[in-house]
């Protein structure tokens, strides 16, 4: 059982010491997913310096999920890392949608979760619940405004996203900027991040001219998104994933 509260430097050696795992353990091959999510949440301001006294809920839209679907229980680590917090992880992506179409009723009812875990009370009693979206192959921005099949997100998360290589990310970027929803991603390497930085203005311009996006967010917010192109995305190196890098996209726009 790890020490409480979860205090460690954000690098593998410090994490392994806190977790009681020997450095020769291959755990990192699996834990890089929840630890990358945790690091992004830290950078986005969702990890307080002290344990929250009152219980809180954190809703995350995990977009572009793929191989993670084979190892969902590793995300239980977030329950240990975020004590006194109920994490609702809603996963969107082609593979997630395919799995929901293959599941036989009532295996995936509208409110069913594919994984649930609550940490021991002496570890803070954090909890994680994972749900697979079954509305479409890719995240549909209309669901956040009108349909409401899921609770409103506190943040968007995307790991190894290839954000400039897939047009499906454009609505995510737009809705993040227009609605002020923090958006944290990792990508494969620095070259990907450089490509993203070059494509980012083009992505925004093309998306806000989409009639459907304009209908969702309104003309004023669409204009504010265009004006935000001059605001650079934050970049830094993820100590858990050297030499990979992450980028944080945040939307601070007029309401």
Task: Outline where the chain has alpha helix (H).
Answer: 12-19, 28-43, 77-81, 94-102, 142, 170-179, 190-208, 211-217, 219-227
State the residue range of the domain holding 221. Answer: 51-230
pLDDT: is 63 or 146 the higher one?
Answer: 63
- Segment 208-230 shows an average pLDDT of 67
Whether the CB-CB separation of 199 and 169 falls below 8 Å is answered with no
Q: Give pLDDT, residue 76.
A: 97
Average pLDDT for the chain: 80
Q: Is the pLDDT of residue 31 over 80?
A: yes
Specify the pLDDT at position 172.
85
Q: In this predicted model, what pLDDT tens digit does every residue of 171-199 receive, in sequence order?
A: 888 788 778 889 898 887 777 767 776 77
The model's confidence at residue 245, banded by pLDDT at 50, 70 and 90, is very low
pLDDT at 57 over 90: yes
Which residue is it, tokens 């979860």? 6
Is residue 124 assigned to a domain? yes
Does residue 164 sit within a domain?
yes
129, β-bridge pairs:
88, 116
Residue 253: pLDDT above 50? no
How much is the pLDDT for 56? 94
Residue 18 counted as domain residue = no
- The predicted pLDDT at position 77 comes to 96
Chain segment 96-150, per-residue pLDDT in tens: 888 888 877 665 554 589 999 999 999 999 999 999 988 888 887 777 766 678 8
- Evaluate whether residue 94 is within a structural domain: yes
1 located within any domain? no
2 in any annotated domain: no
Residue 248 placed within a domain = no
What is the average pLDDT across 56-63? 95
Q: How many domains does the chain divide into?
A: 1
**pLDDT over 90, % of the chain:** 35
CATH of the domain at 83: 3.40.50
Residue 21: how many other CB atoms lie within 10 Å: 16
pLDDT average, residue stretch 210-220: 69
Residue 209 confidence (pLDDT): 67
Neighbours of 172 (CB within 10 A): 26
pLDDT value of residue 242: 39
């Amino acid at each position: 059982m790890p020490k409480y509260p979860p205090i460690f430097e954000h690098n593998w050696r410090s994490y392994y010491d806190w977790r009681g795992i020997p450095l020769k353990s291959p755990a990192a091959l699996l834990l890089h997913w929840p630890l990358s999510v945790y690091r992004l949440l830290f950078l986005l301001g969702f990890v307080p310096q002290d344990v929250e006294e009152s219980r809180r809920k954190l809703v995350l839209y995990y977009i572009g999920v793929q191989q993670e679907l084979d190892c969902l229980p590793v995300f239980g680590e977030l329950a240990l890392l975020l004590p006194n917090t109920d994490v609702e992880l809603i996963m969107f992506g082609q593979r997630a949608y395919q799995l929901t179409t293959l599941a036989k009723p009532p295996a995936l009812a509208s409110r069913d979760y594919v994984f649930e875990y609550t940490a021991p009370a002496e570890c803070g009693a954090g909890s994680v619940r994972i749900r697979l979206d079954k509305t479409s192959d890719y995240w549909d921005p209309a669901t956040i405004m009108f349909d409401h099949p899921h609770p409103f997100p506190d943040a968007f998360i995307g790991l190894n996203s290839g954000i400039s290589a897939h047009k499906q990310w454009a609505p995510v970027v737009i809705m993040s900027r227009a609605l002020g929803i923090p958006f944290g991603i990792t990508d494969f390497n620095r070259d990907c991040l450089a490509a993203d930085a070059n494509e980012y203005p083009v992505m925004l311009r093309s998306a806000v001219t989409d009639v459907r996006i304009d209908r969702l967010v309104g003309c004023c917010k669409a204009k504010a998104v265009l004006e935000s192109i001059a605001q650079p995305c934050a970049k830094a190196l993820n100590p858990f994933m050297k030499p990979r890098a992450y980028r944080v996209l945040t939307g601070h726009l007029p309401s």
